[in-house]
Amino acid sequence: MAKNLYEKVFDRHVVSRLSSGQYQVFIGLHLVHEVTSPQAFALLRDRGLKVKFPGRTFATVDHIIPTDIASRQRPLQDSLAEEMLQAIESNTKEHGVAFFGPHSGHQGVVHVIGPELGLTQPGMTIACGDSHTSTHGAFGSLAFGIGTSQVADILATGTMSLGRLKVRRIKVTGKLGAGVYAKDVILAIIRKLGVNGGVGFAYEYAGEAIEAMTMEQRMTLCNMSIEGGARIGYVNPDQVTFDYLKGREFSPKGADWDKAVEYWKSIASDADATFDDEVVIDGASLAPHVTWGITPAQSVAVNESIPAESDFIESERPLIREAYEYMSLEANQPIEGVKVDVVFIGSCTNGRLSDLQEAAKMVQGQTGKVASGVQALVVPGSEEVQKQAEALGLHKIFTDAGFEWREPGCSMCLAMNPDKLKNRQVSASTSNRNFKGRQGSPAGRTLLMSPVMAAAAALTGQVTDARKLFHLENKA
Amino acid sequence: MQATAAAIIESVSGRAVPLRGNDIDTDRIIPARFLRCVTFDGLGEHAFEDDRRGLAAKGEVHAFDKPEYQGAKILFANKNFGCGSSREHAPQSLMRWGIEGVVAESFAEIFFGNCVSLGIPCATVGEAAIGRLLAAAEADPAASWVLDVKAREIRGPITEPVTFLDGPRSQFLSGQWNPMSELLSHLTEVEQVASGLPYVSGKW
């Protein structure tokens, strides 16, 4: 019988049916960071348990790490952050787990380093105590964000308890226009299906626009599946996937490579596979998107105005009013022209090399600099991204234009480190969440957008259609 | 975490605290700055900290600050409660504030799973029913409620049928809501499955 990727991969990883009716599922790659793991390691210690598969467990530090070079000196100035860093260092050492710390050459946002090391591969089950683990689905893996109790379950047993999901195929047809990226596609999908539209579903992304995306674009897409309520999202592995993985540190080598590629092809959804639901999006008609509110579904195309309350059903209106008030924006106001104070280019959503390259390319073609009064941060997703970007001279392009070039980490995506908005500042951010207070100030305001749109906002000091500013036109 | 102390949970009894609003995310339940910790101790006092302060600045009072809801054990909420970050710190902070059960229109998936692991039953009801429950808890904060996992209902000044997912419900009723012990009992099978996967065995 024809099967989709979710069914094939899930079935191969089932260990047992638990008494609750849930499935015990083997997790082939467990990624660990400093925020959601210390209590799990403590639990193992309390119960006298060891990490069951230390060789399939990899750790780094990303959330709390400062991004200015002076502040990375040990001990960290924030004693709580230092305590967390020490905890993950000692926990991983005690259990024989690889830890990619600062200056290891591999430190970075956990969802950036997994793929770039070749740890993330098609057909795997992956888990991490972080909701954006869905990122790794870009390779055709099933990648679950989990809580700390489940981190402990996986550390101790290599497995977790899971129910089966339904699968919704989202087909994005056509060719994306110039200046339109995966970020715009996923914001448009979430706008259409809602922040809870994906609850109970895995999202399979398919169609011409997805097939044409690079792996880094597919990662951006899958990364924000969780913002649409879907715990996991994936793209079927193809030649783009294999080309990305070839030669990476943990990728299969030599004679194994060809066999691995055959295996990976075999786990893709069959041509006649069935799905529980299907949604079609016209990719060719999409424009750059910008969020205006306090959930990732509250977005508009850059050439649109903020919607009126009457555009929504009654039960959604209180949240729309709350968003107007919190953001100090009004119905029918064009999103273009909204002033920004801070620009953040980075995160597990958009902190990879190609994100920085696209933004730098636009900045380089301009004579102007970062607008007066605007602070613009560029935070590479990993030490490897930083190294490659610097080899290409991107840091110079950014700093010459008045951007700050930082060290790798999660930074202002969630502001657990010193990078925070102040008071009611408005941020043009390439991250994934525009929740109230998300970027470190309880009154801070976030507008989510692509790196190229964020670069445009940095130069003009306001939400700007990057296609116009950078003269991006569709080539016939 | 209470992995070693799993117990049968047939119901949760106590007063209820009403919290209106869709899409209340885990950053709002526990802002990220309070995640700078290596234990979950002390998170209870920071539940909804920024929402509470924000309302106080406007001269309003968040439900978690109202004297009449102190000590409440059941939380009533609207749609997509607990969306966003996977931080278990969110249900940990609610639990440490005193919440032992939640009734909402719907839950975000990771939050829901975290609650199961902590032994916090989460039940869903329709839009009209949650409206009645919220209104009842607002009208009479002192009312006693029972979230009955076994009978699948919430009983108080009014009674409404609720839905539990079958798997988690049986986990609560059997005391197996934290699955670690059962997962540990199958380690031989775990190794068999692992060694059959080419990326683990290296036998492509």
Last residue of a domain, one of A162, A182, A216: A162
Domain membership flag for residue B190: no
Residues 190-249 (A) with a CB less than 8 A from some CB of B: 195-196, 199-200, 226-227, 229, 231
For A246-255, the pLDDT digits (tens) are 999 999 999 9
Chain B residues touching A446 at Cβ < 8 A? none
Are B22 and A39 a contacting pair at CB < 8 A? no
State pLDDT tens for residues A218-254: 999 999 999 999 999 999 999 999 999 999 999 999 9
Query: Looking at the predicted structure, is the pLDDT value of residue B3 above 70?
Result: no
Nearest Cβ partner for B109 among A83, A199, A252: A199
CB of A328 within 8 Å of a chain B CB? The answer is no
Q: Which residue from B minimizes the CA distance to A121? A: B199
Among A7, A65, A15, A156, which residue's Cα sits nearest to residue A346?
A: A65
Same domain for A219 and A93: no
Whether A124 and A141 map to the same domain: the answer is yes
* Chain A residues touching residue B80 (CB < 8 angstroms): 195-196, 199, 229
Out of B88, B186, B194, whose CB is closest to A24? B186
Mark yes or no for CB contact B28/A437 under 8 Å. yes
Rounded mean pLDDT, A385-407: 98
In a domain, A260, yes or no: no
Q: Across the interface, which of A39, A49, A64 has its CB nearest the CB of B39?
A: A39
A143 plus A41 within the same structural domain? yes
How close is the nearest chain B Cα to the Cα of A174, in Å? Answer: 30
Task: Answer yes or no: is A256 within a domain.
Answer: no
Task: Please list, in sequence order, all residues whose beta carbon lies within 8 angstroms of the beta carbon of residue A403, skipping any fewer than 6 positions away.
Answer: A343, A345, A363, A370, A376, A377, A378, A458
Summarize the confidence of residues B179-198 as an average pLDDT.
97
pLDDT digits (tens, 9 = 90+) for B39-93: 999 999 999 999 999 999 999 999 999 999 999 999 999 999 999 999 999 999 9
In the DSSP assignment, the letter for residue A281 is: E
User: Does residue A248 sit within a domain?
Assistant: no
pLDDT score, position A476: 46
Is A437 at the interface with chain B, CB within 8 A?
yes
**Average pLDDT value for chain B:** 95
CATH number of the domain that residue B163 is part of: 3.20.19.10
Rounded CA gap, B119 and A173, in Å?
Answer: 44
> Model confidence at A475, in pLDDT bands (50, 70, 90)?
low
Average pLDDT, integer, range B138-145: 98
Does residue B6 register a pLDDT over 70? no
Q: In whole numbers, what is the pLDDT of chain A averaged over residues?
A: 97
Domain termination site, one of A136, A162, A188:
A162
The answer to whether position B192 is within a domain reads no
Q: Domains in chain B: how many in total? A: 1
Q: What are the tens digits of pLDDT across the range A42-61? A: 999 999 999 999 999 999 99
In a domain, B181, yes or no: no
Q: Tens digit of pLDDT for each residue in A137-158? A: 999 999 999 999 999 999 999 9
Of A162, A190, A216, which one is at a domain's C-terminal end?
Answer: A162
How many residues make up chain B in this entry? 204
Other CB atoms within 10 A of residue B186 CB? 17
Residue A408 included in any domain: yes
Residue A387 sits in a domain whose CATH number is 3.30.499.10
Q: What is the pLDDT of residue A367?
A: 87
- pLDDT band for A473, please (50, 70, 90 cuts): confident
- In this structure, the answer to whether residues A337 and A452 fall within a common structural domain is yes
pLDDT category, B4, cuts 50, 70, 90? very low
Under a CB-based contact definition with an 8 Å cutoff, are residues A72 and A43 in contact?
no
Q: Does residue B199 surpass a pLDDT of 70? A: yes
Residues A348 and A333 in one domain: yes
Q: Chain A partners of B199 at a C-beta cutoff of 8 Å?
A: 28, 121, 123-124, 260
Residues of A in contact with B183 (CB under 8 A): 18, 24, 153, 156-157, 159-161
- A259 lies in some domain: no
The answer to whether residue B198 sits within a structural domain is no
The reply to whether B187 falls in a domain is: no
CB within 8 Å: A256 and B204:
yes
Same domain, A271 and A295: no
- Given CB atoms, is A12 within the 8 Å cutoff of chain B? yes
A15 contacts on B by Cβ (under 8 Å): 186, 189-190, 193
Question: B86, A436: Cβ pair inside 8 Å?
Answer: no
Q: What is the ipTM of this complex?
A: 0.95
User: Are B115 and B91 in contact, with CB atoms under 8 Å apart?
Assistant: yes
> Lowest-pLDDT range, A424-433, B2-11, B18-27, B187-196?
B2-11
Do A24 and B182 lie within an 8 Å CB cutoff? Answer: yes
Q: Is residue A251 one of the residues assigned to a domain? A: no
Instruction: Report d(CA A266, CA A271) in Å as an integer.
Output: 11
CB A282 within 8 A of CB A184: no
A421 and A433 inside one domain: yes
Q: What range does the domain containing A318 cover?
A: 289-469
Q: Do A58 and A186 have their domain in common?
A: no
CB-CB under 8 Å, B194 with A158: yes
pLDDT at residue B2 is higher than 60: no
Mark whether A274 and A185 lie in a shared domain: yes
The count of domains in chain A is 3
Residues above pLDDT 70, as percent of chain A: 99
How does DSSP assign B44-110, residue by residue? Answer: GGGTTHHHHHHHHHTT---GGG-GGGTT--EEEE-TTBTBS---THHHHHHHHHT--EEEES-B-HH
In a domain, A247, yes or no: no
Identify the pLDDT of residue A365.
Answer: 87
> Tell me, what CATH number does A230's domain have?
3.40.1060.10
Phi, psi at residue A150, to the nearest 5°? -75, -30
Distance from CA of A334 to the nearest CA of B (A): 25
Indicate the pLDDT class of residue A99, thresholds 50, 70 and 90. very high
Question: Which of the pair, B98 or A19, is modelled with greater confidence?
Answer: B98
- Mean pLDDT throughout A118-129? 98
Question: Residue B156: which domain range?
Answer: 8-176
Residue A20 confidence (pLDDT)? 86
Residue B135 lies in a domain: yes
CB contact at 8 A, A399 and A130:
no
* Interacting residues of A328 by C-beta distance below 8 A, sequence separation 6+: A424, A445
Has residue B111 been placed in a domain?
A: yes
On whether residue B196 sits in a domain, the answer given is no
Q: pLDDT band for position B5 (50/70/90)?
A: very low
Q: Are residues A352 and A391 in the same domain?
A: yes
Q: A313 and A446: one domain? A: yes
Same structural domain for residues A213 and A66? no
CA distance B162 to B168: 14
B81 DSSP β-pair partners? B107
